[in-house]
C-alpha cells in the first residue's frame, strides 16, 4: 500500500514545508519592519510578503486535494511530478511577489496551469474508475492513460 502513495506523501510533506517557509518569511518581515499582529499593513515589502504567503495558503487545500485524487485515480508518478512543478512555481511566485508585484505573474500563470492539469488528471482518473467502458473504448483509454 505504501509504495502506491509514497510519492504523493513526499510531495505533500514538501508542500507543508514550503508553507512553513512562507510563514517564517512573514514572521521575519514583521520583525524587520516592526509590524505586530494583527496588523497586515505597513512597509510595502512586508505587505508583498504577507500577501504572497496568504495567496499561497489559499490555494494549498485545492492543490493537496487534486494531487491526491489525481495520484490515486490516475497515476501517482504523473501527479507527483506535476505537484513538484507546482511547488517550484509557487516558490518562484512567492519570491517574485516579494521583490515586486509584477514578479508574480509568470509563476502565477504556471502554477494555475499545473492546477488545471491536476484537475484534468483527477477527472480523467475518476471517469475511468466510475464509467463502465466498452472493450474498444476501455482498451484505448488504458493505452493512453495507464491507470
**Which residues belong to the active site?**
31, 104
Sign for the pseudo-dihedral over CA of 138, 144, 145, 147 = positive
Residues 79/12/111/32 CA torsion (nearest 10 deg): -170
Sign for the pseudo-dihedral over CA of 91, 92, 95, 100 = negative
Amino acid at each position: 500500500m505504501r509504495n502506491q502513495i509514497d510519492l504523493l506523501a513526499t510531495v505533500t510533506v514538501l508542500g507543508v514545508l514550503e508553507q512553513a517557509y512562507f510563514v517564517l518569511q512573514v514572521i521575519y518581515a514583521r520583525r524587520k519592519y516592526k509590524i505586530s499582529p494583527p496588523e497586515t499593513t505597513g512597509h510595502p515589502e512586508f505587505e508583498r510578503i504577507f500577501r504572497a504567503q496568504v495567496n499561497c495558503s489559499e490555494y494549498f487545500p485545492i492543490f493537496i486535494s487534486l494531487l491526491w485524487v489525481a495520484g490515486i485515480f490516475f497515476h501517482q508518478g504523473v501527479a507527483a511530478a506535476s505537484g513538484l512543478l507546482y511547488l517550484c512555481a509557487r516558490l518562484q511566485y512567492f519570491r517574485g511577489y516579494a521583490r515586486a508585484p509584477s514578479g508574480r505573474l509568470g509563476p502565477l500563470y504556471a502554477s494555475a496551469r499545473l492546477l488545471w492539469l491536476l484537475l484534468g488528471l483527477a477527472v480523467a482518473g475518476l471517469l475511468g474508475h466510475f464509467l463502465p467502458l466498452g472493450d474498444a473504448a476501455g482498451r484505448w483509454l488504458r493505452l493512453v492513460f495507464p491507470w
